[in-house]
Structure 1
Amino acid sequence: MSKQPKLSDEIAKMAEEYEPLMPVEKKLIAYSLILGTALIGILLFVSYTFFPSGH
């Protein structure tokens, strides 16, 4: 039977095999952050405009 690798060995192996993000991944992260920030801004605007008593 083959021996199962330990979790600590697998984590150490993953730390050694660092791969930088691809440009497309960087763009997706940036677009997600921008979209999330914009949607929070829109939500706050709608909240303050249509439900002013709670603030």
Structure 2
Amino acid sequence: MEPEKKDASFSEELSKMEWEPLLPIEKKLIGWSLGLGTALLFILYYVSNIFFPGTHG
């Protein structure tokens, strides 16, 4: 048996899908994730300056 050939590419399949707006909880999760990620970057940079001084530009 031969494997079935796919007629549509991934981008064609995406263009067929309907657009759905984000739910309020999804927006809140995205905001929290971005905020937490940014805060952790600054905290880790500060901590690395304390324990490894002189290694940052």
TM-score range, shorter chain: 0.7 to 0.9
- TM (normalized to structure 1)? 0.77
Q: Sequence identity of aligned pairs in percent?
A: 58
- TM (normalized to structure 2)? 0.74
Higher RCO structure, 1 or 2 (CA under 8 Å, sep 6+): 1
List runs of 5+ in structure 1 lacking aligned partners.
Answer: none
Q: Which structure carries more helix by proportion?
A: 1
Give the total of aligned pairs.
50
List runs of 5+ in structure 2 lacking aligned partners.
Answer: 1-5
Q: Report the RMSD for the aligned CA atoms in angstroms.
A: 1.5
The list of structure 1 runs, each at least 4 consecutive aligned residues, that deviate by more than 4 angstroms after superposition, is none
